[in-house]
Structure 1
Amino acid sequence: MENLLPVLMACGIVLTAFMVFMAFSGPDQAKIQSRRLSEMKDRHAGSGSAMIEAQMRRAINNRLGGTKMDGLAAQFLPRPEMLKARIKRTGKSWTMSQYGTASLAIAFVFGGLVILKGAPLALGLLIGVLTGLAIPHMAVNFLIKRRITQFNVRFPDAIDLLVRGLRAGLPISETLGVVSNELPGPVGEEFSAVVDKMRIGRTMDAALQETADKIGTPEFQFFCITLAIQRETGGNLSETLSNLSEVLRKRAQMKLKIKAMSSESKASAYIVGVLPFAVFGLIYSISPDYMGGFFSEPRLIVAGIGGLVWMSIGAGIMAKMVSFEI
């Protein structure tokens, strides 16, 4: 076992370095130049079939674009389309291959550290897999929540800017461009994406709905529904948006009030949920032989699995008790 550990660690390091190189290496430049020459020939060919073929090739290239490891990562990662949508919601220009490489690197590091500490090989592999899946997932969730929070904080200001532009006599399409230029952060980025889609021929409703699906916040869905209803029924759009801005501000205030009132319950739930695992980890780090029976004794293994199941059920119940939807 001791002779096998250095070999496993060396193989893991070599594999991780290879995956990092393949993930961050760009596509083949020769293939890019060949594709561009083919597109230029098709663009200037003049025949309708050649133009259609060029458009289809461009669409396929855009769909399959990315690094060399993107296709391989999409095959092994679960639900790649949903994962790709979640990565887009973070606002980062990450690829599937980079996400998969980060997961593998974290799994090798934590699993190797646990095995080098003297833990059984099965436990090291289990901890490596769990950390490799959990840490990138939690990081993406954190970035999504932070970006959505930043968006919701500035979104009422964007609506107020739209109201002022409409009252000044500007059309809604130009006021969207003003918002994209004046407001920084996620609000300006998303409105800039809407304006770009409208410039290439998409309707405003379709562009807004795509952005709403990407962001996934009720606030922006309210905005899209308000514009759609006003477009069909008519009325004073500036007054409607002004009322929507006031509603969104009151909604944000209610969220902050609920967060303040439930903070004590959330802290208690976090402490109760983390305490058993923290105590187990501390005792195991101090005296591995004392807690080692949970990985070798059948009765203790069954007891440990039962405890994990009940702790998971309790943590889920406490999470539901302290979560509030507005």
Structure 2
Amino acid sequence: MSEANLVSFGAAMLVALAVGALAYAFLYPYFSGEREKESRFKGVLEAKRDTLSQLEQVASRRKSVADTLKDMENRQRAAERISLRLRLERAGLNITPRTYWLASLVCGAVLAAVVMFTLPASATRMFLTLVIGLIGVFGVPRWFVNKVTTRRQLKFTAELPNAIDIVVRGMKSGLPLNECLAIIARESEEPLASEFREVIEQQRVGISLGEALERLTQRMPLPEVKFLSIVVAIQQQAGGNLSEALGNLSTVLRDRFRLKMKVRALSAEAKASAMVLASLPPIVTFMLYLSASEYISILFKTRTGNFALLFCGLWMLMGVLVMRKMINFKF
């Protein structure tokens, strides 16, 4: 082979090697799977970016919800001192504080008169008359108001899930939220109807729904009402499907009420036992006074008996408070 042919063959080989190297450089990613890896890597990066953006949105919503809850908590703390008018309003009693105090004075005077004319004349009678009179003025009316308030709140709690179901069905059928609340105010039982009627009236004078529901939590300081107020406030702040949120809330409240009734039924025996134990000493003392007054009068006529009576009364009070704490379930 001549020298010219060798040079041509070498040049051709170099060109072929160069073309092969270029082809290998361009085609290697397709055959080796590098492009697939790169595309998968880009997809992972885009998914991470989407996740980060979603997390940022969730964080902003959580911050908005936390600010709303903190604002409601601050307002509730500012209104911790409850006035007598608000207590009467919570009990559903349409009386003024002046009428309440007049009734309290009459109750105290009646109880003091009963003690005065029942016990024999002594220093102990004056002391017991004063104590029973004070209990009649400050204790019995307050107990009555608390009892009526508890009964009213229990009825409200029992009817609230049904009212929320009315709102959910109304909103799914196209009715606005205010119209659903008006239906509750018209067709629900008391005390639910009167409370939501008050919410509607407040909206008519320019108060927002969130503010009206917050005032409802002041008149009905129940966790269930606070849940409702928080759900509506969060929906107004962050948006979302209100009917779905209220539907879930209705289920939770119904299960919560069912659990409360179950706990109440299971603790009924303990409460009855505590009431019997707490009422037994006063009843026995009163029966002994009626049947053998000379036998028990030593507790009222002598200083030692007075001290013994005071000591036993204090221990009895401590026992009643302990039993009350044991049977008072909060959840």
TM-score normalised according to structure 1 size? 0.73
SS of corresponding position for 1:272? helix
**Does 1:90 pair with 2:91?**
yes
Structure 1 pair 133/223, CA: closer, same or farther in 2 (3 Å)?
same
Query: Which amino acid is the alignment partner of residue 200 of structure 1?
Result: V
Query: 2:280 matched to which residue of 1?
Result: 275
Superposition deviation, residue 184 in structure 1: 2.4
Partners of 1:142 and 1:289 lie apart in 2 by: 38
Query: 1:106 matched to which residue of 2?
Result: 107
Which residue of 268, 282, 302 maps to 2:307? 302
Query: 2:144 matched to which residue of 1?
Result: 139
Write the deviation string for residues 56-78 of structure 1: whole angstroms up to 9, x where unpaired: xxxxxxxxxxxxxxxxxxxxxxx
Query: 2:212 matched to which residue of 1?
Result: 207
**Does 1:312 pair with 2:317?**
yes
Partners of 1:200 and 1:144 lie apart in 2 by: 28
Query: Which amino acid is the alignment partner of residue 239 of structure 2?
Result: G
Partners of 1:132 and 1:182 lie apart in 2 by: 39
Query: Which amino acid is the alignment partner of residue 98 of structure 1?
Result: T
Partners of 1:81 and 1:165 lie apart in 2 by: 35
SS of corresponding position for 2:175? coil
Partners of 1:287 and 1:140 lie apart in 2 by: 37
Partners of 1:126 and 1:185 lie apart in 2 by: 38
Query: 2:159 matched to which residue of 1?
Result: 154
Which residue of 220, 228, 237 maps to 1:232? 237
Partners of 2:137 and 2:285 lie apart in 1 by: 21
Query: 2:176 matched to which residue of 1?
Result: 171
Superposition deviation, residue 89 in structure 1: 0.6
Q: Which has the larger radius of gyration?
A: 2
Partners of 2:236 and 2:201 lie apart in 1 by: 21
SS of corresponding position for 2:207? coil
Gapped regions of structure 2 (runs ≥ 5): 1-80
Partners of 1:129 and 1:285 lie apart in 2 by: 24
Partners of 1:262 and 1:175 lie apart in 2 by: 37
**Does 1:194 pair with 2:195?**
no
Q: Is the 8 A contact 2:109 2:136 kept in 1?
A: no
Query: 1:248 matched to which residue of 2?
Result: 253
* Aligned residues with identical type, % of pairs: 35
Which residue of 225, 234, 240 maps to 1:220? 225
Partners of 1:141 and 1:221 lie apart in 2 by: 20
Q: After the TM superposition, which residues 66-85 of structure 1 pair with which residues of structure 2 at under 5 Å, given as runs?
A: 82-85=83-86
Superposition deviation, residue 205 in structure 1: 0.6
Query: Which amino acid is the alignment partner of residue 82 of structure 1?
Result: S
Partners of 1:122 and 1:321 lie apart in 2 by: 31
Partners of 1:211 and 1:175 lie apart in 2 by: 17
Partners of 1:126 and 1:319 lie apart in 2 by: 22
Gapped regions of structure 1 (runs ≥ 5): 1-79
Superposition deviation, residue 319 in structure 1: 1.1
**Aligned CA-pair RMSD:** 1.7
Partners of 2:119 and 2:280 lie apart in 1 by: 24
Superposition deviation, residue 138 in structure 1: 1.5
Superposition deviation, residue 228 in structure 1: 0.9
Partners of 1:117 and 1:308 lie apart in 2 by: 20
Write the deviation string for residues 122-162 of structure 1: whole angstroms up to 9, x where unpaired: 32232222223222112111110111111111111110000
Partners of 1:153 and 1:165 lie apart in 2 by: 20
Partners of 2:116 and 2:291 lie apart in 1 by: 16
Could you list the structure 1 runs, at least 4 aligned residues long, displaced by more than 3 angstroms after superposition.
Answer: none
SS of corresponding position for 1:325? coil
Structure 1 pair 131/284, CA: closer, same or farther in 2 (3 Å)?
farther
Q: Is the 8 A contact 2:111 2:133 kept in 1?
A: yes
Query: Which amino acid is the alignment partner of residue 150 of structure 1?
Result: K
Q: Is the 8 A contact 2:300 2:306 kept in 1?
A: yes
Query: Which amino acid is the alignment partner of residue 283 of structure 1?
Result: L
The alignment of Structure 1 onto Structure 2 pairs a total of residues equal to: 248
Which residue of 264, 286, 311 maps to 2:291? 286
**Does 1:261 pair with 2:290?**
no
Superposition deviation, residue 81 in structure 1: 5.5
